[in-house]
């Protein structure tokens, strides 16, 4: 066996071998508002992390810093051992590696569903159009909207649009998927069809960060719950532990309001 140097050991301790995303003392301000405060978070490959917390606690900002829709003031973020790129082609590739699904569906309104799921593959991944369309159709089938491929987003229900948005992100073969309240804008009867797609993705081993108020999803799909308040990670626990026995007063107070 080879000797492990102190420096290697320190680096390995800082980022376990199965770590996909590592945030180290990340800070972010919006003017005087300290929106992310010394965030340390390591996400393992295949892990599903559900982020919950009161409105304004910094959950969306956290997601947005991970795919560099927001810059940070200090600290480091690495994905697959590499620091986030700052600009250019590298940044476009990062955005493809980190799929993001927002509360609002953000599809291209003037492109068909098929084109929505094909475009990024051709432009960013340089996939041949025919292969990209084949893959788009497979993914649309997988999320249950294969029959809608030739329609425009506005002709689809919210739940269908959100499933297209998931297919579009998956088409880039991301290493990580970020979901920021993906069901919050949906009519109640459409929430489950989106959560089921996410559940399946989790079962298939996708690494996921999910901001959601859907506690049923958190209980059944999350490996870990991260509770944020006022820009800090206040508590982290397995879902069963978090829901049955929250440790912090902030988490107790939050759960008493939503459960």
Task: List residues near Mg ion by CB under 5 A.
Answer: 59-60
Report angle CA 73, 76, 82 to the nearest 5 degrees.
Answer: 135
Q: Does 212 bind ligand ADP (CB under 6 A)?
A: no
Q: Does 250 bind ligand ADP (CB under 6 A)?
A: no
d(CA 162, CA 186): 9
Phi, psi of 207 (to 5 degrees): -80, 125
What residues have CB less than 8 Å from 162, skipping those under 6 apart?
A: 101, 105, 182, 183, 186, 190, 194
Q: What is the DSSP string of 129-177?
A: HHHHHHHHHHHHHHTT-GGGTTS-GGGS-HHHHHHHHHHHHHTT--SEE
Which partner in Mg ion, ligand ADP, none is near 224 (CB below 5 to 8 A by kind)? none
Shortest approach of ligand ADP to residue 32 CB, angstroms? 10
Q: Does 159 bind ligand ADP (CB under 6 A)?
A: no
Which partner in ligand ADP, Mg ion, none is near 35 (CB below 5 to 8 A by kind)? ligand ADP
Instruction: Tell me which residue has tokens 């209980």.
Output: 219
Tell me the residue nearest to Mg ion as measured from the CB. Answer: 60
120 vs 246, beta carbon nearer ligand ADP: 246
61 vs 160, beta carbon nearer ligand ADP: 61
d(CA 195, CA 182): 9
Is residue 213 within 8 Å of 131, Cβ to Cβ? no
Shortest approach of ligand ADP to residue 90 CB, angstroms? 24
Query: By CB under 6 A, which span of 54-62, 100-108, 118-126, 246-254 interacts with ligand ADP?
Result: 54-62
Q: Beta strands 82-83 and 74-79: pairing type?
A: antiparallel
Q: Does 55 bind ligand ADP (CB under 6 A)?
A: yes
Which partner in Mg ion, ligand ADP, none is near 135 (CB below 5 to 8 A by kind)? none
- Interhelix angle 129-142/158-170, nearest 10 degrees: 130
Q: Does 57 bind ligand ADP (CB under 6 A)?
A: yes
Site string for ligand ADP, 16-35 (x = CB under 6 A): --------------x--x-x
Chosen residue from 38, 42, 46, 56 binding ligand ADP by CB under 6 A: 56
Q: Does 162 bind ligand ADP (CB under 6 A)?
A: no
d(CA 101, CA 216): 19
- Binding-site residue total for ligand ADP (CB under 6 A)? 11
Q: Which long-range contacts (CB under 8 A, 24 or more apart) does 37-40 make?
A: 37/230, 37/231, 37/232, 38/75, 38/232, 39/75, 39/232, 39/233, 40/233
61 vs 116, beta carbon nearer ligand ADP: 61
Which partner in ligand ADP, Mg ion, none is near 61 (CB below 5 to 8 A by kind)? ligand ADP
Q: Does 61 bind ligand ADP (CB under 6 A)?
A: yes
List residues near ligand ADP by CB under 6 A: 30, 33, 35, 53, 55-61
């Amino acid at each position: 066996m080879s000797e492990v140097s102190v420096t290697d050991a320190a680096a390995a301790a800082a980022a376990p071998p199965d770590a996909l995303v590592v945030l180290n003392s990340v800070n972010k301000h919006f003017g005087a508002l300290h929106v992310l405060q010394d965030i340390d978070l390591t996400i393992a490959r295949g892990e599903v992390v559900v982020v919950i917390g009161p409105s304004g606690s910094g959950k969306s900002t956290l997601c947005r810093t991970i795919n560099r829709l927001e810059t940070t003031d200090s600290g480091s973020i690495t994905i697959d051992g590499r620091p986030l790129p700052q600009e250019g082609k590298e940044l476009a590739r990062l955005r493809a590696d980190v799929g993001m699904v927002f509360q609002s569906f953000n599809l291209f309104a003037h492109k068909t569903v098929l084109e929505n799921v094909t475009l990024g593959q051709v432009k960013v991944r340089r996939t041949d159009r025919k292969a990209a369309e084949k893959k788009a159709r497979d993914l649309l089938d997988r999320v249950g909207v294969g029959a809608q491929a030739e329609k425009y987003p506005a002709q689809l229900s919210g739940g269908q649009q959100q499933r297209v948005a998931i297919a579009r992100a998956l088409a880039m073969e991301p290493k990580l998927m970020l979901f920021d309240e993906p069901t919050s804008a949906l009519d109640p009867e459409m929430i489950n069809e989106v959560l089921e797609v996410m559940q399946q993705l989790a079962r298939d081993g996708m690494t996921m960060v999910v901001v959601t108020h859907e506690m049923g999803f958190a209980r059944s799909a999350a490996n870990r719950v991260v509770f944020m308040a006022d820009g800090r990670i206040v508590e982290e626990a397995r879902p069963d532990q978090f829901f049955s026995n929250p440790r912090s007063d902030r988490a107790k107070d939050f759960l008493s309001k939503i459960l």
